[in-house]
Amino acid sequence: MKFLEFKKKVIGFPLFSTSHLNSLEENRQVLRNQLTKWQKKGLVIKLKKGLYILNEIDRKITLSRTFLANQLYEPSYISTEYALGFYDLIPERVADITSVSPKKTMTFENKFGRFIYQHVKITCFTGYRMLQDENRLNYFIAEPEKALVDFIYLNRSLFGNKDKEIFESLRLQNIESLSVKKMIKYAKIFKNHRFMNTIKLLVKFIKEV
């Protein structure tokens, strides 16, 4: 299959996988060889094993990193540091896209950056919303309260007798927009007594600020 023919068949998709491409070429080895050749020429870009996009010139839209974050590892939703920055709850600019998933912890790196996924139990995989990027492609991101709860739970080894000092070091801002009721609700689903106490202390800290 020539690249122009291949491009016509996949150009309507934001990205494509090898399982999708198997329907376009009966000989899988030929397909793998072609993909390798097209990657070397810069015609196809590999996002991870088995997932690709066309090069910037040939693809119809510029894919957002938020959309890609959900596609690289499913199911997942954007949370923790990146979501806190997205909601302007911390002053720092977060370069890596951070997400959570009920699957094992994983990291992917490609030309779009680093995508980090941390594990949470399936019962804790909730508290997210669907948004659309500039190309009207859907992606999932934690609600502000869940992003903060996820962050503290996944970094709970840092919290202990000096919770207030660590809360201050987080340099949280715009916290008046947070719902403490939602924070308590989301914290309860982790069913961890010590963690629950930490969230209660955080709620108290937020009220005092």
The pLDDT tens digits of the residues spanning 95-132 come to 999 999 999 999 999 999 999 999 999 999 999 999 99
- Whole-number average pLDDT of the chain: 91
User: Which one has a higher pLDDT value, 26 or 201?
Assistant: 201
Could you give the residue ranges of the DSSP H alpha helices within the chain?
Answer: 3-10, 18-21, 28-40, 65-72, 80-86, 144-154, 163-169, 180-188, 193-208
Q: Taking the CB of residue 158, how many other CB atoms lie within 10 A of it?
A: 13
Q: What is the pLDDT of residues 28-54, one digit of tens each?
A: 778 788 889 999 999 999 999 999 999
Q: Which of residues 165 and 9 earns the better pLDDT score?
A: 9
Indicate if the pLDDT at residue 164 is higher than 80: no
Q: What is the pLDDT of residue 85?
A: 96
Three-class SS state of 9: helix
Is the model's pLDDT at 88 over the cut of 90?
A: yes
- Specify the pTM: 0.92
12 has a pLDDT exceeding 70: yes
